[in-house]
Amino acid sequence: MILRYSRPEMVAIWSPETKFKIWYEIEAHACEAMANLGVIPRENADAVWKAKDVDFDVARIDEIEAVTKHDVIAFLTHLAEHVGSEEARFVHQGMTSSDVLDTCLNVQLVRAADILLDGMDKLLAALKKRALEHKDTVRVGRSHGIHAEPTTMGLTFARFYAEMDRNKQRLQNARAEVATGAISGAVGTFANIDPRVEEHVCEQLGLSPEPISTQVIPRDRHAMFFATLGVIASSIENVAVEIRHMQRTEVLEGAEFFSMGQKGSSAMPHKKNPVLTENLTGLARLVRMAVIPAMENVALWHERDISHSSVERGIGPDATVTLDFALNRLAGVIDKMLVFPQNMLDNMNKFPGLVMSQRVLLALTQAGVSREDAYSMVQRNALKVWEDRVDFRELLLADADVVAALGEQAINEKFDMDYHTKHVDTIFARVFGA
């Protein structure tokens, strides 16, 4: 994790203190369930809860691990220092380390998902607000980066809203899929622990019992989780790239907010650079770095190896912390983003009337002209607009073939801007509801 791109709430989920607290809760709830089943004495299970308010000493656990070379054993040894060796002798009974590690990881991922979902709600709210604000703000649509036909800035925001709303649903599904726990013992057969212990622990931690584990929870669940984070990151980049293009000097249809005292360049005082959205493009790459390793973690030897472990220690915090930061940064960018409607019109009119070419083409075909001839008639005039920046409508009115097919009044009617925005309300209703 890089502190520059981190927010405290998400970072706290991955702290050693939080991890050991979850480990403790898993062990304590397991003892409680075993006592309920009569497997261990009630007084021993109750004794474990004496540590419920303990702040586990990370340095002490590290000191023990330096000798044991085993993190879970080091933790259990430290727990016994608080509970008492005799009282703690039934802790971890019938369990294996992965029961603790995997169940803990999934608790952390669920908590991380909840924070990410909150960030997505903030972003969706910002996108919806700006979409409604600019529903009728006309700008030119571009394909291949070239002027195509008119659209609106509101539709651009609405498109990103719909994409992020799909991502929210994906994340909700990924959260549900990864919200499982396993307290099934070595190789997952429950040979030394009752399945009801697993059910109790999972219920207490807000998880569902893993239907079948080996010695680990199946990693296809985690692969889908991190793949979903990668898709969300790609959508963040999609929005960021659009804003970066809009802020280019020769376009300047929109821009990041530039605060008082902000400096754009150490060399050139005139610069206003899209640094936040450039940063978001880079952060998206960092999140996507987790996807392939998560997928490679799916294939483990037999009932388990630990090739996945070191990977997840890195990608768990890195991907969630980075995506959390990116979602909140993008929400702020959208909320404060500057939009320049006049520049949008000026850009569209750099080639006067040219964006109406398809409407004229269709009118000619409807008037009885073959598509090939109609295309040729429109293109020969359109190319003059490209070359000489003359008015497309005036060229058409001076073209005897076009006038003969359509008439002057019909040609003029084809330059009504409202034609291109007449279904904006329909699209908004589809995206945001009636």
User: Phi/psi of residue 114, each to 5°?
Assistant: -65, -40
| Residue 144 annotated as catalytic | yes
HSE (side-chain half, CA atoms, 13 Å) at 395: 23
Backbone angles phi, psi at 290, to 5 degrees: -80, -15
**Phi and psi at residue 338, in whole multiples of 5°?**
-90, 135
334, 24 contact by CB (below 8 A): no
Q: Which of 291, 178, 294, 288 is nearest to 235 (CA)?
A: 288
DSSP 8-state class, residue 112? H
Q: Which of 227, 211, 208, 214 is nearest to 167 (CA)?
A: 227
Catalytic residue among 6, 97, 143, 144, which? 144
Considering Cα of 407, then 409, then 412, then 416, what sign does the dihedral take?
negative
Tokens of 111: 């908590």
Sign of CA dihedral 56, 62, 63, 66: positive
Q: Tell me if 321 sits within 8 A of 111, measured CB to CB.
A: no
Q: Which of 15, 70, 265, 310 is catalytic?
A: 265
**Longest CA pairwise span in the chain (Å):** 103
Contacts of 79 (CB under 8 A, 6+ apart): 24, 27, 48, 51, 56, 88, 91
**Which residues, in sequence order, are bridge partners of residue 146?**
143
Task: Indicate the pairing of strand 138-143 with strand 146-152.
Answer: antiparallel
CA-based Rg of the chain, rounded to a whole angstrom?
30
Enzyme catalytic residues: 144, 265
